[in-house]
Amino acid sequence: MILFNNDYSEGAHPRVLQKLAETNLEQTEGYGADRYCRQAAELIKARCRRPDADVHFLVGGTQTNLTVISACLRPHQGVIAADTGHISTHESGAIEATGHKVLALPGDGGKLTAAQIEAVVKAHYQDAAREHTVQPKLVYISNPTELGTIYTKQELTDIHRVCRDSGLILYMDGARLGFALTADGNDLDLPAIADLCDVFYIGGTKNGALFGEALVITNPALKEDFRYIIKQKGGLLAKGRLLGLQFIALFEEDIYFETARQANRLAGIIKNACLRKGYELLVDAPTNQQFPILPDRVLEKLGEHYGYTWWQRVDKDRSAVRFCTGWATKPEDVEKLAEDILRL
């Protein structure tokens, strides 16, 4: 059985384990105040060309999302997000548990547009009884989205402009950011994202780390007392250096981007097999997540040898599913899957 269910089925890239082993008996300060976290933060700030940024390391994505949103908002403020956004659907109400409403808008392949956001804000401030409704204050986008699509530089610039003009905070969930930045058609890079977003994170868990997300705060107004909030939400890892070490492993050379590029390439092989066979795609995505629409009888057959994630029923005979590649995906396994798709 070969699992294509997700990008966190294996442990970590060998360089990550090696770093942990090499430094295992060293003594360091706790809670992220150690030299490795500092070094990793410097690496990331250099990549973003933002020496002024604050970098924090957290263990997981839901934790990062709820910590950022809770830190940024006053009680009456809410988050604009796509209806397919992770915080809208798959975090068990984590954002609401911190007191804030998620204002879900219909996504286009998982993406929001500047025009949508502008319309929501305008409607809010035109309402004479606006204090009876939740005030939109933060925009949450994922890049790539939960459907594998990516934002172009123009799209992100437009969203940035609306946010700036309306006093909204722009937050990018980069749980799979490596896959976006190495995708065909991408024209964004870390410095551009650091300029256009107030805060964003570079995901490690889904791209080669055992766990870990590197949060980058560029808006000075959002930096104050951030470590208190991380601690309060249970996200301050005692042996914080484990996070720093992993990001050093991924970023001191180019592992983070190399593995992502390779995973995108392998995902493309699966996509092409589906297209050649005449299967439609739920959404046309250039990254490591592919959402083909397959006949149920084919899925049953494939399910004997391959793991995938069932996504949604499309019609009575067909379902959309997700195939996911990652840093550990073996090219030969992908070739075999592609052949079986074409054959069945």
Q: Does 316 bind its own copies (CB under 8 A)?
A: no
> According to CB under 8 A, which one of 20, 192, 222, 344 is a site residue for its own copies?
20
Backbone angles phi, psi at 261, to 5 degrees: -60, -40
Residues 22-81 that bind its own copies (CB under 8 A): 23-31, 59-67, 70-71, 74-76, 78
Only one of the segments 3-11, 177-185, 186-194, 269-277 lies at the binding site for its own copies (rule: CB under 8 A); that segment is 3-11
* Strand intervals (E) in 2-129: 2-3, 54-58, 77-82, 102-105
Only one of the segments 20-28, 49-57, 184-192, 250-258 lies at the binding site for its own copies (rule: CB under 8 A); that segment is 20-28
Would you give the binding string for its own copies spanning residues 119-158, x where CB under 8 A is met?
Answer: ----------xxxxxxx-----------------------
Q: Does 303 bind its own copies (CB under 8 A)?
A: no
Q: Does 116 bind its own copies (CB under 8 A)?
A: no
CB of 237 vs its own copies, minimal distance in Å: 6
Nearest to 287 by CA among 175, 196, 195: 175
Count of CB atoms within 10 A of residue 342's CB? 12
* Strand intervals (E) in the chain: 2-3, 54-58, 77-82, 102-105, 135-142, 169-173, 199-203, 213-217, 289-290, 293-295, 306-307, 309-313, 318-324
For residues 167 and 278, which CB has a smaller minimum distance to its own copies in the complex? 167
- Measured between alpha carbons, how far is 264 from 207 in angstroms, rounded to an integer? 12
CB of 344 vs its own copies, minimal distance in Å: 22
For residues 186 and 290, which CB has a smaller minimum distance to its own copies in the complex? 290
295 forms bridges with which residues in the sheet?
A: 318
For residues 140 and 151, which CB has a smaller minimum distance to its own copies in the complex? 140
CA angle, residues 32, 33, 34, in degrees to nearest 5:
90
- Measured between alpha carbons, how far is 309 from 328 in angstroms, rounded to an integer? 18
Residues 185-244 that bind its own copies (CB under 8 A): 205-206, 210-211, 225, 227-239, 242
CB of 2 vs its own copies, minimal distance in Å: 7
Nearest to 299 by CA among 193, 291, 150: 291
Q: Does 269 bind its own copies (CB under 8 A)?
A: no
Q: Does 90 bind its own copies (CB under 8 A)?
A: yes
Amino acid at 291: F
